[in-house]
């Protein structure tokens, strides 16, 4: 077993930091927000996940106070959009750094639709979207109590959009059919969900 401390990695043995490859795969946080003048901001986040279900909550973490995080905090809301295999290239294109106020969705040819309960728009081609209201945010600190340049935003899911084609006859969301794209280890690596393993929880 190889052991290393993150601040003192053997760069000859491990020239590429394996942390994000170990904690993988991760859902992609494709987050849409809205500026005060109504322009949509759309960007993917590598650090995203569900953090609770009663009520349902999701979180994303931003390295630096980027537009998505700042707009979510300013407006108090955001929408998460599921990235399927068919949306991979457009999602990747929205990761480009563009001036604030640039509509990434328009730039990559994505159609947007209004939310029911929040002002942020959703990606129409996404098989599922979650309308969220920000309930918590914090600047992360390291073990010494020093502030990092990492910002955590937690949203309560107040509305859910589901593509009816993804609902099975017995009323389940068909994750395999949705082909969610996930972040793998390094900047150019992704995975697609293509295998289902079912196990009954022990009594």
pLDDT at 101: 73
Per residue in 53-72, pLDDT tens? 999 999 999 998 988 999 99
Query: Is 137 within 8 Å of 75 (Cβ atoms)?
Result: no
Return d(Cα 15, Cα 28) in angstroms, integer. 25
Q: What is the dihedral of CA 61, 67, 73, 78, to 10 degrees?
A: -80
How many percent of the chain have pLDDT more than 70? 100
Mean of all residue pLDDT scores within the chain: 94
The pTM assigned to this predicted structure is 0.94
Band of residue 116 on the pLDDT scale cut at 50, 70, 90: very high
Q: Are strands 48-53 and 128-141 parallel, antiparallel or unpaired?
A: unpaired
């Amino acid at each position: 077993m190889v052991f290393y401390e993150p601040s003192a990695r053997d760069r000859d043995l491990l020239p590429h930091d394996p942390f994000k490859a170990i904690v993988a795969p991760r859902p992609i946080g494709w987050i849409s927000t809205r500026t005060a003048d109504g322009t949509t901001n759309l960007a993917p986040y590598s650090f995203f996940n569900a953090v609770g279900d009663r009520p349902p909550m999701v979180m994303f973490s931003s390295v630096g106070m980027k537009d998505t995080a700042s707009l979510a905090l300013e407006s108090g809301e955001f929408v998460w959009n599921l990235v399927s295999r068919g949306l991979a290239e457009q999602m990747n294109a929205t990761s480009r750094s563009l001036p604030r106020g640039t509509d990434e969705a328009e730039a990559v040819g994505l159609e947007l639709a209004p939310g029911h309960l929040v002002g942020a728009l959703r990606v129409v081609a996404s098989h599922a979207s979650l309308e969220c209201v920000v309930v918590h945010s914090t600047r992360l600190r390291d073990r010494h109590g020093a502030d990092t340049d990492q910002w955590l935003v937690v949203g309560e899911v107040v509305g859910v959009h589901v593509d009816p084609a993804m609902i099975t006859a017995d009323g389940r969301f068909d994750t395999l059919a949705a082909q969610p794209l996930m972040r793998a280890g390094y900047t150019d690596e992704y995975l697609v969900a293509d295998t289902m393993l079912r196990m009954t929880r022990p009594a």
